[in-house]
Amino acid sequence: MPTVLQMITAAELAQERRNGALLLDTRPAEQFADIHIRGSIQISLMGNFASWAAIIIDPAQKLILISEDANGTREAHNRLARVGLTNILGYSLADENEWRTKGLELASISVERCEHIRQIGTFWPYLAAAIACYRRHQTATSGIVADQILGRLRDDDLDQCGVDKLHLMRRRTFNAKADR
pLDDT tens track for 94-136: 999 999 998 899 998 876 555 554 554 444 455 555 555 444 4
Which of 79, 107, 135 terminates a domain? The answer is 107
Q: Specify burial of residue 82 (Cβ count, 10 A radius: 0-12, 13-18, 19+).
A: exposed
Listed residues 46, 79, 107: the one ending a domain: 107
Asked if 73 and 58 count as a contact pair (C-beta separation under 8 A), the reply is no
Residue 50: inside a domain: yes
Q: Is residue 2 part of a domain?
A: no
Those residues with Cβ within 8 angstroms of residue 56's Cβ, 6 or more apart along the chain or in another chain:
41, 43, 169, 170, 173
In the prediction, which pLDDT does 130 show? 55
Cα 112 from Cα 21, distance rounded (Å): 30
Write down the pLDDT at residue 141. Answer: 42
State how far the Cα of 114 lies from the Cα of 161, in Å rounded to an integer.
Answer: 8
3-state secondary structure of 111: coil
pLDDT of residue 112: 59
pLDDT at res. 154: 55
| CB contact at 8 A, 88 and 42 | no
Phi and psi dihedrals of 5, rounded to 5?
A: -85, 150
Given pLDDT bands bounded at 50, 70 and 90, which one contains residue 86?
A: very high
Distance CA 56, CA 119 (A): 34
Could you tell me the CA-to-CA distances from 147 to 48, 65, 110, 118, 132 in Å, in that order?
22, 25, 13, 18, 12
Asked if 95 and 130 sit in the same domain, the reply is no
Q: For residues 165 and 17, which has the higher predicted lDDT (pLDDT)? A: 17
Express each pLDDT in 56-82 by its tens digit.
Answer: 899 999 999 999 999 999 999 999 999
Q: Which helix (H) or strand (E) holds 11?
A: helix 10-18
- Asked if 63 and 143 sit in the same domain, the reply is no
- The parent domain of residue 65 ranges over 10-107
Q: Tell me whether residue 127 is in a domain.
A: yes
* Number of domains forming the structure of the chain: 2
Q: Band of the pLDDT at 4, cuts 50, 70, 90?
A: confident
Q: How far apart are CA 135 and CA 13, in angstroms?
A: 37
Residue 110 is predicted with a pLDDT of 73
Q: What is the pTM of this model?
A: 0.64
Beta pairing, strands 63-67 & 41-42 = unpaired
Lowest mean pLDDT across 25-29, 44-48, 173-177: 173-177
In a domain, 5, yes or no: no
Say if residue 29 is in the same domain as residue 68: yes
pLDDT at 12: 94
For residues 97 and 161, membership in a common domain is answered with no
Same domain for 44 and 91, yes or no, is yes
Asked if residue 79 belongs to a domain, the reply is yes
Query: Do 40 and 84 belong together in one domain?
Result: yes
Of 76, 107, 138, the one marking the end of a domain is 107
Is residue 163 domain-shared with residue 143, that is, in the same domain?
yes
